[in-house]
Chains A and B, each alone.
Chain A
């Protein structure tokens, strides 16, 4: 006879309470004064993995790994058992198979010892924790990506407008000095310095563009990709074709940045790992969906057996960037048949009007 049967006089309310105990989705356990489990409902057995016979007389400490605090996931300091009352709290449970997981817990201390000392109610938090972690992770990734883009933009502008302008002034000054009558050796030296200053200016400009091209903000995604493709061809010797289909409207700046970075990453991956001499980029805007496809014609790889040659963060970063702008990311590849990276981003019309058209025709 269970504690419930013993303790309830009326047959009807007894069966009601029994049913309640049996069918509750929350795990309920009664604990005696010494902390041993007296009874557990089916939900508690499912949660812990013990049978009804096994769970009786197990000490609560065998399944409780501690209470969560601000600092740690599970601390076994001041046990809740010794407290008179405490609001719901989070603790960690170890199931029979050794699996540990978080639960939300609350307890009720009984006034007399007839049915044990207290009842503990537990609810599995694994799914909520996973969702919370993913949400937090997305938030942090978003923050890091935005901070990185902002910082790149700032450094790029500082380089272009500050260091670049100063170097340009130096070059103009050197040209003026060159007009003065000089010895041949002095002129030769001056020309060498002039050449070095011009090369440094070019390097500064390249660095600024590599960090974040101002074209992306000023003219938009298509001109920015075109200009990256030109640099890419020169840097890696890969023949690059860009095909633009559909409307020529500018999406939101964060979508432009995400697609530009994904395109850049996919193309650099092709240069590093694909062993190819040809890359094709297709950007199509059919009104509701903006689609970017980067295809190489290289050696490809088996998606099920990815041999990570870098950190593997490149693919992860592309997927995250697509996710942050509400898009989807696909990668298709097979040994010997190249790799195709595809990103699809739904277009949200700007509030109060249509999207901006490109200010001018694209030129290559």
Chain B
């Protein structure tokens, strides 16, 4: 039987396939520390996502949490003088378009993200296609915390 972590990676692989995107990941808010972590990813090119830590309310995840609605960035450009910190995950994976769906299970919160390394051309259906997988990820919010989340120093084969 698969661990919760492996199950989550499988969900991310599937959501990436059905949305035809390059990258999928899940952000989870730690209710004790109020810190958001990217707990697993599919299609990642490096391990940066594992080390990124943001306070609740900060960054694009903070925007999704506050509005409790999906967020779409169809064409991401680096603007001069722009603080890159809120978009760290986009820079980490060189994403140019991103779709996010909030997930919630009681007091536990998270956000499912998929993204492409090119500007969006077919954004309209992606959020709708993500929704069933977002619902699957909600289970992880409850059970996933019982499973160990890989630490940055742990080696893990890239999942391209």
Contacts and interface: CB of A to CB of B under 8 A. Distances in A.
B56 interface: yes
Contacts of B150: none
B80 A277 contact: no
A311 B53 CA distance: 28
A237 B84 contact: no
A111 B105 CA distance: 101
A202 B58 CA distance: 12
Interface residues of A, number: 22
Contact of B88 (A202, A236, A273): A236
DSSP class of A's interface residues: helix, strand, loop or mixed?
A: helix
A237 B52 contact: yes
A256 interface: no
A237 B55 contact: no
Contact of B91 (A202, A234, A272): A272
Interface in A279-326: 309-311, 313
B132 interface: no
B158 to A, nearest CB: 11
A184 B84 CA distance: 41
A268 interface: yes
Interface in A48-106: none
A310 B94 contact: no
B117 to A, nearest CB: 10
Contacts of B56: 199
B80 A237 contact: no
Contacts of B92: 236-237, 277
A210 to B, nearest CB: 9
Interface in B66-125: 78-81, 84-85, 88, 91-92, 94
A237 B57 contact: no
A208 to B, nearest CB: 15
A271 B88 CA distance: 8
Contacts of B85: 235-236
A195 B80 CA distance: 34
B84 A202 contact: no
Given A199-B56, A199-B57, A203-B55, A237 B78 contact: no
A195 B47 CA distance: 31
A313 to B, nearest CB: 7
Interface of A: 195, 199, 202-203, 206, 233-239, 268, 271-273, 275, 277, 309-311, 313
